[in-house]
Amino acid sequence: MNYRVQKFTHSGTFITKWGSYGTGDGQFNEPQGIDVDASGHVYVADVKNHRVQKFSSSGVFQSKWGSYGTGAGQFNQPHGIDVDADCNVYVCDLYNNRVQKFTDNGEFLTKWGSYGTGDGQFYWTCYVDVNNSGNIYVTDAFNHRVQVFGYTSSPQISLNPVIVDFGPVVVGDSSNLQIISITDNGTADLSIGTITLSGTNADQFTIVSDNASNQAITPGASKAVRITFTPTKMGAKTATLSIPSNSPTNNPATVTLSGLATKKPPIPVPSSTGRGMVTFDVLEGALILGLTQIAEITLPVNGKPPLNFTYGFFDFNVLGVDPGGSVTITITFPDNIPMNCQYWKYNNGWVNVTSLVGDN
């Protein structure tokens, strides 16, 4: 064997050749079936490497798919191969006694056949051909017959992109919109179910708009989902966008989302006593909301400690603390505070909180 493909003109004049013995890209171990699509791409069944290889019209390697086995997309000596008008690739999987159908990039679509003598069963599938009407002809070698299968239309979901990294986003801010395009690459209407977010950090991402959920997409058409990353807690965040459909494969289709929530800059706020700016800084895991200063004279005096508060009071909420978790907030004042000074807060009464030491 020469383990190669040769190309000629229609009158037999040699043009080019490619291939050698081996398992690398562009190498072969018994090349058998071959077909060319409408764009000139060449598909070769590489029998004992249990794969299909795809080349340009001049023999430049482009892609490959398959390995030894019985699973979807695996082969036990692929033989005949044919490409239909929609660039679907049909492969006779000889010793698995079946036919497998792929996209032109090797994405598995469907398969049929098993060992036997009944209709739709095979004893070695050798060659396949698809006519202009979409009927599929398969040689059933040791059953001494040809079987014909009708063309069946089906939807095929395609997502772009399938991985979205929002990059660093400050806690409390929103990222730029990222658009996920959902396309029907099949030959029948694609019915989309309800699109959802899932995962530990799903609440850190937001579906801003969605014109695809519970809608039908016609062949060749697209719809979109728009998503933002809206973190409330610092750290790396991930989630999964799930898109259920009636596609026979890749169902549900998923998009992996990720983003890095970074620290919000320290927040300065003037004291209510005019003593200068007081700075609040969250060190981990949360976001300060609604930070304002409150004059001491506006608070009830019932139960108030017998002292004045140099910088007044500050009111704020904390967002993003997990149940049972904690948050660290550093408060920096413009002047030194006397050592062992006590601070108090009002919450349906005056409550003594932990004594603080130094400037914080």
Kindly state which CATH superfamily the domain 157-262 is placed in: Immunoglobulins (2.60.40.10)
Q: What pLDDT sits at residue 207?
A: 97
Q: Output the pTM of the full model.
A: 0.52
Q: Could you check whether 5-149 and 157-262 share the same CATH topology?
A: no
Average pLDDT over the chain reads: 89
Q: What pLDDT sits at residue 183?
A: 96
Domain borders along the chain are: 5-149, 157-262, 267-352
Q: Where are the beta strands (DSSP E) in 141-296?
A: 145-149, 157-160, 163-170, 178-184, 190-191, 196-198, 205-210, 216-217, 222-229, 235-243, 253-262, 267-270, 277-284, 287-294
| pLDDT tens, residue by residue, 289-308 | 888 888 888 888 777 777 77
User: Could you give the CA distance from residue 66 to residue 70 in angstroms, rounded to a whole number?
Assistant: 10
Evaluated on CA atoms 350, 353, 359, 360, the torsion sign reads negative
| pLDDT tens, residue by residue, 81-127 | 999 988 999 999 999 999 999 999 999 988 999 999 999 999 999 99
Confidence of residue 338 (pLDDT cuts 50, 70, 90): low
Mean pLDDT across 261-284: 84
Determine what percent of the chain is predicted with pLDDT higher than 90.
63
The token pair at 165 is: 């990294």
Mean pLDDT across 251-267: 91
Confidence of residue 165 (pLDDT cuts 50, 70, 90): very high
CATH for 5-149 is: 2.120.10.30
Contact 271, 292 (CB under 8 A): no
Contact 106, 65 (CB under 8 A): yes
**Best CA proximity match to 127, nearest among 5, 33, 9, 256:** 33
Neighbours of 211 (CB within 10 A): 11
**Best CA proximity match to 128, nearest among 140, 116, 113:** 140
